Structure 1
Amino acid sequence: MGEASATGPDTADPRPDGADPRPGTEGTRRVPADAGPGTVDAGDGVIVTRALTKRYRGGQLAVDGLDLIVPAGSVFGFLGPNGSGKTTTIRMLMGLIEPTSGTAHVLGRPMPRSARAVLPRVGALIEGPALYGFLSGRDNLLRYDAADPTADPRTRRARVAAALDRVGLTAAAGKKAKAYSLGMKQRLGLAAALLRPRRLLVLDEPTNGLDPQGMREIRALVRELASDGTTVFLSSHLLDEIEQVCTHAAVMARGRLVTQGAVTDLAAGARGRLVVTTPDTGDAARVLKEQGVADVVVAEDRVTGEAPERDLAEVNAALVTAGVRVRGFGVERASLEDAFVALTGEGFDVAG
């Protein structure tokens, strides 16, 4: 499956979806009277799933009872090891495949039944872009936009140029897509998703194939889009990526949702690492183990371990009493890696 960037009429009211226009009701939400059956209050989230399940032929359970809420205006990280069900979930949200059971609402409307109403307000890049290799990057975008019968042809070239510039492809716009690197193809797919203003941007592994500089640029773009009011749903297996750009996150493991919430809250749920700086690492490691510190690791002049529940002043005093020359003592804040590995028992790719 290639790119799922939606095109079509962007009929979005300048107010947030479902915002009540009456004086004194700013910030509240309502379900439009003509929204149709199955519509949910958009105040519940830009994406809302209830017991969403997908079982493939042969009995493979890819997504198992997913209850997910993506707050409006958030940069929402959707995390999990490869094969955890992330892409299958996104394909159901975008109406590309039918769920086996459960429900999914996007922008307050049921999917896939309301795909015609929802997708024009959503930009998406799923499993890499589908491109015409014999066309240039610019001509690919022109072709995408021309396929939308409601797109204004008078502004097409200007919008294509702006999208190329936004993802850093202006210099390569005339180059045939078949000569693009994987990272350049990812950028072009993002440009296609940004040809028109979107209420929601869904990105599946958007930095795949990018070098470190390209990753930084895409992360900056995500932040910029969020500051403009676009909700960004970002699937990734790179914890560093999520920690840098996301306000909220959820983690999947083996098809099930393990946890979701604000990124700061998720990290705070894991205990930090006790760090002791000393030239006497062997003695320090021994004392820490005696004091109940688990997972003790020695690296050069640092000894680290899982921070114990007991008073750390007592641990420090035990080190000094044992003759350990303590040059530094403290607790490092837990990272998303610490939190997610503790929750899932699986490792994540933290490069990036």
Structure 2
Amino acid sequence: MPHPPARDPAPPPAGSSEPSNPAPVHRSDAPVIQTHGLTKRYRGGQLAVDSLDLTVPGGSVFGFLGPNGSGKTTTIRMLMGLIEPTSGTARVLGRPMPGAVRKVLPEVGALIEGPALYGFLSGRDNLVRYDAADPAADPRTRRRRVEAALERVGLSAAAGKKAKAYSLGMKQRLGLAAALLQPRRLLVLDEPTNGLDPQGMREIRALIRELAADGTTVFLSSHLLDEIEQVCTHAAVMARGRLIAQGGVGELAARARGRLVVETPDPAEAARVLKEQGTADVTVEEERVTAEPPERDLAEVNAALVTAGVRVRGFTVRGASLEDAFVELTGEGFDVAG
């Protein structure tokens, strides 16, 4: 059984030389993560990650996407030095991993596959333990750091409650607070909004944007494409262990063609006409029909609908989303278990 946390020392008297604020995170545009030919093959020949060349720009919010079994978690474990690659190289914060793990990890905050918590301790005491385990943490400022981290993730009111009584969303918040006890150059988050209600998800997104604005690079793995599109500046798409695409979120979305959207009280007839006009992937949703935009002039398609007696209330081409790009890149829908 772990020993109880040491009693936190009293705050220093006014006028002491104790630092009041953590040092700002160093800004740099150099890649904070860079891999070349990174490969992981497990016993039995299973190829989990295949020749991955990944570049995460400094200061970005980088979304890491892929369906279940695509190699995302294996990649993160290699980047954090938890497992060794079969071949290839990985550099994090300019240093080779896993060789430089002792120098790199103090500058990295991570929340991977859910936080590890002591259920019999309060949320506050869990953070005290995390902070006390950090050899670089000044014990004189421990209480201040813990309270600031709790406030930042919205857990101040529940700080005294035992962690075993926390909901899944509260545990996610506490894990994120632990990652934020010290200034970090890199924050690695695996499904950070898992278990949160819509308000909590908005708060975490806002916090991620705030951290990025302060100079922290955020590497975010998520199965929520909408979340990635809202908060990320860059993204990479994995499928079957290989990197399919990477770049700016807007750039990736622009690779897809978007969707033709027809609003009409005659959806069945509209779908028939659209198919006759050469459109593909026609989908009927109550009084809305969507399809891939055809190669021909859209004005002619609209005229054909009207001529056939379809009552057209709306006729637009919706801009491509990251989900559209993902489907085109991987040839499959997104597995929410990813």
Q: TM-score, normalised by structure 2?
A: 0.89
Letter in 2 for 1:90: I
CA drift of 1:349 comes to: 5.3
What is the RMSD computed on CA atoms of the aligned residues?
1.9
For 1:141, which of 114, 117, 127 is the aligned residue? 127
CA drift of 1:15 comes to: 4.7
Distance 1:350 1:147, change over 3 A: closer
Letter in 1 for 2:226: D
- Establish whether residue 317 from structure 1 lines up as the match of residue 303 from structure 2: yes
Aligned counterpart, 1:254: 240
Distance across 1 between alignment mates of 2:255 and 2:301: 22
Distance 1:174 1:243, change over 3 A: same
Distance across 1 between alignment mates of 2:135 and 2:260: 60
For 2:181, which of 185, 195, 200 is the aligned residue? 195
- Establish whether residue 289 from structure 1 lines up as the match of residue 283 from structure 2: no
CA drift of 1:88 comes to: 0.9
Distance across 1 between alignment mates of 2:265 and 2:82: 59
Aligned counterpart, 1:338: 324
- Establish whether residue 16 from structure 1 lines up as the match of residue 27 from structure 2: yes
CA drift of 1:223 comes to: 0.9
Distance 1:333 1:13, change over 3 A: closer
Distance across 2 between alignment mates of 1:236 and 1:174: 30
CA drift of 1:299 comes to: 2.3
For 2:162, which of 168, 171, 176 is the aligned residue? 176
CA drift of 1:13 comes to: 8.6
Aligned counterpart, 1:275: 261
Contact kept, 8 Å, 1:169 with 1:187, in 2: the verdict is yes
For 2:38, which of 47, 52, 77 is the aligned residue? 52
Gaps of 5+ in 2: 1-21
CA drift of 1:321 comes to: 2.8
**Which one is further off, 89-98 or 299-308?**
299-308
Aligned counterpart, 1:33: none
For 2:82, which of 96, 100, 104 is the aligned residue? 96
**Cα deviation per residue 1:214-257 (whole Å; 9 max; x = unaligned)?**
22211111111111111100001111110110011111111111
Aligned counterpart, 1:327: 313
**Cα deviation per residue 1:143-200 (whole Å; 9 max; x = unaligned)?**
1111122211111000000001111111111111122222111111100100011111
Contact kept, 8 Å, 2:24 with 2:214, in 1: the verdict is no
Q: How many residues align?
A: 316
Distance across 1 between alignment mates of 2:263 and 2:220: 38
Distance 1:13 1:244, change over 3 A: closer
Distance across 2 between alignment mates of 1:279 and 1:346: 30
Contact kept, 8 Å, 1:182 with 1:209, in 2: the verdict is yes
Contact kept, 8 Å, 1:82 with 1:237, in 2: the verdict is no
Distance across 2 between alignment mates of 1:167 and 1:107: 26
Identical counterparts, % of pairs: 84
Structure 1 SS opposite 2:38? strand
Aligned counterpart, 1:77: 63
Aligned counterpart, 1:30: none
For 2:206, which of 206, 220, 230 is the aligned residue? 220
Aligned counterpart, 1:112: 98
Structure 2 SS opposite 1:274? strand
Structure 2 SS opposite 1:77? strand
Distance across 1 between alignment mates of 2:69 and 2:336: 17
Letter in 2 for 1:293: T
Letter in 1 for 2:115: P
Distance across 2 between alignment mates of 1:123 and 1:224: 15
Contact kept, 8 Å, 1:238 with 1:349, in 2: the verdict is no
Distance across 2 between alignment mates of 1:332 and 1:325: 20
Distance 1:332 1:13, change over 3 A: closer
